[in-house]
């Protein structure tokens, strides 16, 4: 630093200027003396000149000495400060603009082993602290580094030379934009250790339910039932006690589990092997025992964790059981769920739901029914079934249908005003919003995700919402329905509605076309009774047949036009086989009125090819790419579609992809298959 750049300022500069400023006063006095006596004025003028010259010489001579003295004092003062800083208990270092060490204190030397003579780059000690980091304008802040297995919080502060001089009352420096960086190290190793230990000691609540307890016991002899129960108890207790868990049986088929969070990662790594292990319990039972587990963690209290566990077990059961649902705060993870859902032969639940639905409809004057967007035959058939239920109670019911596709048109045309149906039976979303109020019943069928419904706004405009669906539930669900009937084992929503109608009222009658619509929904979702069919599926079909459904009429209504048939054939013809077992194809959407339905039909067709375990057909429609996936029994396509944000069933599932091209969508599906094969979620 040159002395020419150093200037005095403040009170010290004023004090040094005062002798020179007194010359002005002497000049004024000299003028007065001139007026009184000229000769005396000349003598006084000489005195003033001599005084000014002496004061000026004194100022010019003493200013450098004074500055030197001030600098010496500042140096001695700085030495004291430096000594204090050198012995400071917090590790401290000064870094130059090029991210090199200028100076370090003793504590910093003790930690890093670098003394004051070490002037190399900071990266030689902390590789993550780069030169670019120190030169960034937003450099100041807190970082974290590791050194010799210890964790440090690094606090950085930029020190400009001109800012230091601004704080000085006696010196200033011109044209100085250079800066230093002060680095402080705070050892947080123990703090992190205790925080981690505290986190690992947090409570994890779990609920374990036996999905098919009654069915499994009914399949074996009475004398072996206690043995089966004992073996299941042993499996469950052994699995959880190995991680120091507390297990308590709260009902004959339910367990409550509590364990430390530190063991949760271990359970994740083995993907909750108890799910598969319990299926090996065999004492003559024809049906394998399956478990559903709901786990809650990440809540602010023990009660909240238990509530998370309860919500998780409800979700696991709603998705068909035989799986683990883990809820950590707002994040939900799924494990298992690879096997087919168990069909309940007991119709008690259907009867209870039928009576509950009757009470809800009776309490409301108006019913709005809606399915999912881009409605299909199953959605329409289920809506017609609810309409019939409301009609028998004398309630006005309307169906939200925004788009009538080619597959729905033959069915919808049968509900014309000429055939005795109200002209406003089918309404658009805009009209439904105007008609819906707090006293309206909104009946949702064939969907349980609010964003997938025909009009999500309706769910916010009423307090009375009922949900009837056969799809496995996901994280996104309709909140607080007064009645929820979600059964993933059912083949279709129409099957569920057909069962409910049998218990709804003794005098309920279906017209032939109404029965045709409900029957068509079952027919489409089961692929002509080839997938997801059980005893209750055929019983529902038999009920509809007795009600007047005619197979020939239904077949005629479900026929495709020539363009749709050609599109389906093109999708099958251009299918690519990935990894020898997965058929992936694109269904053309040009000149096809309902490309998503044609894509689903093509996916079904591809399963008829030998060696194909799962099929994926992509269709571009309304700015999105719709994926229809199908399988027979070996691959759970529902798990694959959930990875893509969709869902469905073990053999029938779908998803929607946005903001990507068709080629990118195919690549996403292939990458998802590869990832799930590596993780073991699916097998070739």
CATH of 206-336, one of 3.20.20.70, 1.10.10.60, 3.30.70.270, 3.30.43.10: 3.30.70.270
Nearest to 154 by CA among 179, 171, 133: 133
Tokens 């298992």 locate to 336
Who contacts 121 (Cβ-Cβ below 8 Å, separation ≥6)? 98, 99, 100, 131
User: Which pairs from 76-80 meet CB under 8 Å and 24+ separation?
Assistant: none
Compute the C-alpha angle 57/61/64, nearest 5°. Answer: 145
What dotted CATH number matches 92-196?
A: 3.30.450
d(CA 13, CA 27): 22
Output the CATH code of domain 348-557. Answer: 3.90.1640.10
Note the pLDDT of residue 1: 44
- What are the residues whose beta carbons fall under 8 Å from the beta carbon of 578, sequence distance 6 or more? 584, 670, 673
Could you give the CA distance from residue 464 to residue 444 in angstroms, rounded to a whole number? 11
The pLDDT averaged over each successive group of 10 residues in the chain (684 residues) is: 55 67 77 78 80 76 70 65 72 82 84 83 84 72 81 83 56 58 86 83 92 84 88 93 92 93 90 89 83 91 91 83 87 74 63 91 93 91 95 93 87 91 93 92 93 92 92 82 88 93 88 94 88 86 93 87 89 92 91 85 91 93 90 86 84 88 93 89 74
The SS3 of residue 223 is: helix
pLDDT for res 175: 47
Q: What is the predicted pLDDT for the residue at 215?
A: 82
Burial tier of 133 (Cβ tally within 10 Å: 0-12, 13-18, 19+): middle
What are the start-end ranges of the E strands in 313-471? 323-328, 331-336, 366-370, 396-400, 426-427, 440-445, 464-469
Domain 562-679 - what CATH class?
Answer: alpha beta
Residues contacting 303, CB < 8 A, separation 6+: none
Please provide the DSSP assignment of 535-572 as one string: HHHHHHHHHHHHTT--HHHHHHHTPPPHHHHHHHHHHH
């Amino acid at each position: 630093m040159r002395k020419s750049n150093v200037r005095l300022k403040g009170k010290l500069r004023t004090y040094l200027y005062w002798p020179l400023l007194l010359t002005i006063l002497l000049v004024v006095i000299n003028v007065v003396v001139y007026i009184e006596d000229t000769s005396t004025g000349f003598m006084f003028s000489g005195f003033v000149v001599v005084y000014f010259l002496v004061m000026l010489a004194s100022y010019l001579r003493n200013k450098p000495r004074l500055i030197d003295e001030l600098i010496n004092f500042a140096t001695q003062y700085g030495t004291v400060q430096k000594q204090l800083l050198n012995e400071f208990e917090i590790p401290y270092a000064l870094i130059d603009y090029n991210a090199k060490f200028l100076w370090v204190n003793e504590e910093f030397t003790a930690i890093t082993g670098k003394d004051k003579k070490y002037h190399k780059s900071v990266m030689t000690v902390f590789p993550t602290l780069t030169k670019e980091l120190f030169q960034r304008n937003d450099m100041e802040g807190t970082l974290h580094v590791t050194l010799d297995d210890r964790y440090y919080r690094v606090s950085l502060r930029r020190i400009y030379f001109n800012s230091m001089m601004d704080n000085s009352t006696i010196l200033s420096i011109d044209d100085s934009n250079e800066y230093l960086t002060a680095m402080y190290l705070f050892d947080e190793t123990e703090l992190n250790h205790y925080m981690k230990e505290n986190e690992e000691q947090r409570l994890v609540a779990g609920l374990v339910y036996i999905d098919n307890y009654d069915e499994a016991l009914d399949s074996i002899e009475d004398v072996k039932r206690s043995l089966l129960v004992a073996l299941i108890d042993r499996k469950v207790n052994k699995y959880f006690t190995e991680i120091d868990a507390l297990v308590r049986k709260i009902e004959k088929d339910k367990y409550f589990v509590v364990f430390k969070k530190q063991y949760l990662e271990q359970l994740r790594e083995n993907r909750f092997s108890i799910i598969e292990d319990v299926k090996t319990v065999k004492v003559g039972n024809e049906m394998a025992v399956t478990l559903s587990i709901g786990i809650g963690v990440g809540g602010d209290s023990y009660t909240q964790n238990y509530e998370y566990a309860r919500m998780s077990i409800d979700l696991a059961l709603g998705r068909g059981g035989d799986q683990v649902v883990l809820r950590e705060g707002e994040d939900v993870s799924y494990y298992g769920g690879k096997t087919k859902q168990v069909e309940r032969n007991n119709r008690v639940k259907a009867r209870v739901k039928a009576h509950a639905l009757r009470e809800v409809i009776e309490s409301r004057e108006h019913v709005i029914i809606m399915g999912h967007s881009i409605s299909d035959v199953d959605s329409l058939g289920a809506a017609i079934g609810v309409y019939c239920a409301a009609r028998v109670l004398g309630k006005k019911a309307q169906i939200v249908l925004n788009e009538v596709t080619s597959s729905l048109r033959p069915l919808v045309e049968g509900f014309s005003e000429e055939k005795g149906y109200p002209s406003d039976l089918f309404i658009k979303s805009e009209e439904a919003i105007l008609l819906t109020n707090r006293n309206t019943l909104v009946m949702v069928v064939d969907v349980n995700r609010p964003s997938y419904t025909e009009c999500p706004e309706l769910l916010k405009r009423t307090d009375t919402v009922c949900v009837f669906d056969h799809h496995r539930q996901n994280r996104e669900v309709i909140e607080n329905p007064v009645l929820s009937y979600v059964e993933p084992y059912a083949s279709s929503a129409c099957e569920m509605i057909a069962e409910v109608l049998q218990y709804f009222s003794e005098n309920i009658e279906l017209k032939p076309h109404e029965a045709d619509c409900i029957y068509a929904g079952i027919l489409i979702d089961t692929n002509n009774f080839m997938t997801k069919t059980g005893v209750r599926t055929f019983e529902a079909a038999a009920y509809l047949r007795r009600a007047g459904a005619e197979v020939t009429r239904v077949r005629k209504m479900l026929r495709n036009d020539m363009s749709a048939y050609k599109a389906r054939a093109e999708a099958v013809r251009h299918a690519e086989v990935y990894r020898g077992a997965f058929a992936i194809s694109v269904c053309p959407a040009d000149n096809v009125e309902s490309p998503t339905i044609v894509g689903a039909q093509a996916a079904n067709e591809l399963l008829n090819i030998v060696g194909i375990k799962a099929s994926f057909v992509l269709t571009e429609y309304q700015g999105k790419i719709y994926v229809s996936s199908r399988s027979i029994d070996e691959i759970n396509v529902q798990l694959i579609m959930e990875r893509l944000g969709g869902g469905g069933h073990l053999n029938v599932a779908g998803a929607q992809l946005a903001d990507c091209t068709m080629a990118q969508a195919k690549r996403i599906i292939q990458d998802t298959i590869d990832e799930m094969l590596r993780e073991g979620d699916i097998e070739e």
